[in-house]
Structure 1
Amino acid sequence: MLNFLLLWAALGISISKGNSVEVSRAKIQWIADDPLQPLAQHDSCARATLGQHGRRDFERKSWSIQTKYAHSMSNNLGPDVVAEDQSLDSAMFSCCCTAEVNEGSVEVSIKPIILDDQEVQRPRAEPSKIIDRGDEKEAPSHGTYTVVLPPNKEFSALGIEVDEALDEKLGPMIKDLAMGSLIDAFNEQNPKQALALYDRVIAVGDLVSDGPAIAAKLREPLTNEPIILTLRRPQQIYAHLFKPGSLGMKLNYKFRSVGASISELSPDGLVAKWNQEHPDEKVEIGDRILELNSMKHLGPELIERLQNRSKMILTVLKF
């Protein structure tokens, strides 16, 4: 519970066109029993650094927050926040605004990082029409395959719920298949081509390498045209990690994500040690941690448990 909040720096305020107010810098010092509580109330993304012992230093009471706040009166978005502990083996949070309600992304970093405007506003990936469509006859155990869904007037929606990737060049991952939907009927009639949970949709027709556009396309009402989906099925591996030591990886996720994806690896963390000892089962950038000790978790819960467990079996999806 937050005990008190002390504002100790002047705010620089500038007014621009469209009734937009920008507070350029603010510094806040606060003392909290649980430093995560204020951040959980925002539509934001955060980064937390796993310390040398693989956990947040909850016993430390003094934290400093640097806030870069960009607030538009027209869209009422929340603040950009960077929270930084004063110790080297601390948890550090770096938040960026999103327009989607109750959405955000959180990264577990190998080192403190402060987002700048260029990092927050990532450019949209350019679509590409060059893609390996894989085998259209049978879905592989892992790899790329393509299915063609014929028109069906009995259904109004496709029936795929996806978990969008933070990297816009990657397609969204399937996290649910609705019963009684077009996909459900297709899977029943075509068991060798059946779509599965955690397959990544990398193309819809000629729409390729644009994750948000692919996710939006999957939500559109069905038409009388066939739908061509190209998917990538992941390989599952199991990495056994034992503390003490830093995990040495940066994890990206949204607050409703299934698990978290790896965006950066340290050359000397526990994951790097695993990779050296198991070259055929390497954990790599772009992989997604699906389970911890055989239990699935949403992004925030996964981060907390990774920091509090000394023995870990990671179920990793390799796309």
Structure 2
Amino acid sequence: DDVDATPATPAAAENALVTWAAGKVGPEKPLFVYLADHGFVDKFCLDGCGNGVSITPAQLNGWLTQLETTTGVDQVTVVLEACLSGSFISRTDPTDLNSLSKPGRVIITSTSDATNAYASAQGAYFSDAFFSCIADSLDLNSCFQEARAAVATTGVNQAPQMDDNGDALFTNGDGTVAQTRFVTRFFASLRPHITSSGTIEQSGVTRTLFATVEEGAQKIDVVWAAVYPPSFTEPIDAVDNPTLNLAVPTVKLEDSDGNGRYEFTYVNGFTEPETEEAHYRLVFYAQDKNAIHAVPKGDFGGGMRNIYLPIVSK
């Protein structure tokens, strides 16, 4: 159904879940909800962030509960991409309804209830990786872990959360249900793959960044690198004014020979002194024509590696 022209209001969200989805879900007919926008503690912004134009965990939980009761849908998954979105999982006591946590639901948030979620060069760090993995027909737990690892490359405190056992906590006990759930199992995207990457020093402050990328099912659209200087620190913002951009230099690499090797010479881009404790960090990214991302490859001072959790060289 075409819902692009529907205003993003709490009433429209309620109607979509309680009425529109009711004829499409049921036992063994799962519901998947993805919401992306600004967020605050216990608040997801729709048509703004004020009262009446945003939604709370209690509201969303109530709509989902009504849908579960009327349809019998027994597989509900909600993914929230927003600052402080972990507040839609956490609760103070088991009787608190201001949480989406419930047995039978998989709740995934791009960060915790105390940290921001950040935008990437092409979207959002968590969602970029999560949905690229989903397109490969992997399960929800695998894709959550992959996206969590991609977020970790930034070096900030963004902390993705998942609850699939109904205890309103993200712990080692979560993941058992999520690993049995898939968004699609009909195709694999054949994602692009960064086979090698690194830098070649041209002078003390100029280096050539390179990445060799293998195409997947689609042509490569863009290859880029984020350059984190030794002085990088996470932006410090008031809770009511979160910064979504990390504001680190991002450079586009070009394949001038058409051989899959992308390069960019960053002139005077490495001017800060480096020590064993503080050095430049590089993270390389590749995206195809369908906006599917390769697993990022990062340099953390000990050589290039693909990024997974736990971090391993591969």
TM-score, normalised relative to structure 2: 0.25
TM-score, normalised relative to structure 1: 0.25
Structure with the bigger percentage of strand: 1
Quick check: which has more Rg, 1 or 2? 1
